[in-house]
Amino acid sequence: MAKTTFVGNALIGQSGGPTSVINASLAGVIEAALNAKSIKTIYGMHYGIEGFMKSMVVNLGKQSPAVIKGLHTTPSSALGSCRHKLKEEDFPQNMKMLKKFDIRYFFLIGGNDTMDTVHRVEAYCTKHGYPLRGVGIPKTVDNDLYGTDHTPGYASAARYVALSVMQSGILARDMQKVDQFVVQQTVGREAGWLAAAAALAKTDPKAAPHIILIPERPFDKNAFLKEVEAQYKKCGFVSIVCGEGITYADGTPVSASETKDKFANVEFGAMGGASVAMRLHQMISKEFGWRGEFQVTESLPMCAADRASKTDIKEAAACGRKAVQLATSGKSGVMVSMVREKGKAYKIRYETAPLSEVAVRAKAMPSSMIAKNGMFVTKQFLDYIRPLVGEMPKYVTLDMKKNK
């Protein structure tokens, strides 16, 4: 079908967990769709694909210009989200709704599962002779999406983590006579990109964080406690950041209970859902007899608009606009990809990655970005993340050697 005759309506949805900038991507899609000659109306799914199958849509073209502009800096998922994984029996109903609203351009903002949804919907429509162009728009705070240098949402969540660790690290330093350690947990089941971002907080050798634990490296309890003791002797307190998905060498989650039932199975009872941070806290307290704190943030880094990265907001919107440009120029079955150009100056160009590859792969941190002991990051990672997060604040320290 020629480009000039491929005219119809567009549909956009948001899936999975939110980010501080997911609505900037939504705004980019709306703005580009309203100016696209081949798109008559831009519809939004209310509560994602699950809501769409129930005919829950909103005409985004009827929103006021002020609301569309405001989406660029509004947190959470304005359309409402879902985590519905399409089943085979869902596809006929889904295509029925696509036909009902004359949808020819299909966009979803999300992570791996979302890219899988776009891929499967487009493939089903192609198989059944319904012309549809599907383009995915990347989103995740975990930064584990394959095919892109980084994902919109990661930079802002990384900034949230780095600022939190920096500020709480100053508190921990000053309160070391009360609490000797603090453990902070981030999201990230299979990749340590977000926990690693805490390294931006470190302004000198004694500053927080002292230890970063990530899923890419197996957790060694003895090595960990040894490093805790070494950092305490050097700094007077210990700041630890851990990804939620860290595991022992045999694959057992560190968050799992150490209690076993009569069949020698790990017991996931009342304490089975305890956080990794709590487990590490228990280990340290038991080993050294110290008092400490642990912090667990789940949704906060995903929606803290006040800490959003300016670069992240800009790039998220650009990804939305690029998705529309791709679809209206005939592209389909792809995800918008950000490619970092070589050179000292940070610069991104927008390309594509096949949905068939994105949907089934995850992106772990490369070994070159992980310290040899597996408990911190390298300069390469810091060079990678600094332009994404932006300038960090500078705080002062009293000179305790000065006297009268």
Where in the sequence numbering do the catalytic residues fall?
142
- Supply 127's token pair: 């198989």
With CA atoms as reference, report the closest residue to 253 among 272, 225, 234, 232.
Answer: 272
Nearest Cα residue to 335 out of 161, 157, 156, 117: 117
What one-letter code names the amino acid at 127? K
CB of 182 closer than 8 Å to CB of 235: no
Among candidates 314, 298, 33, 383, which has minimal Cα distance to 152? 314
Helix, coil or strand: residue 33: helix
CB of 378 closer than 8 Å to CB of 131? no
Quick one: angle between helices 310-328 and 379-389, nearest 10?
Answer: 80
Helix (H) or strand (E) holding 133: strand 133-138
Three-state DSSP state, 9 = strand
Torsion of CA 160, 166, 172, 173, to 10 degrees: 180
User: Which DSSP letter does residue 265 get?
Assistant: P
CA–CA dist 132, 158 (Å, integer): 36
The answer to whether the peptide bond before residue 205 is cis (omega within 30 degrees of 0) is no
Token representation of residue 205: 């050798």
β-pairing, 103-110 vs 133-138, is parallel
The counts of H helices and E strands in the chain are 13, 11
Tokens 């085979």 label which residue? 88
DSSP states along 326-370:
HHHTT--SEEEEEEEPSSSS--EEEEEEEHHHHTT-B-PPPGGGB
Q: Are 317 and 25 in contact (CB under 8 A)?
A: yes
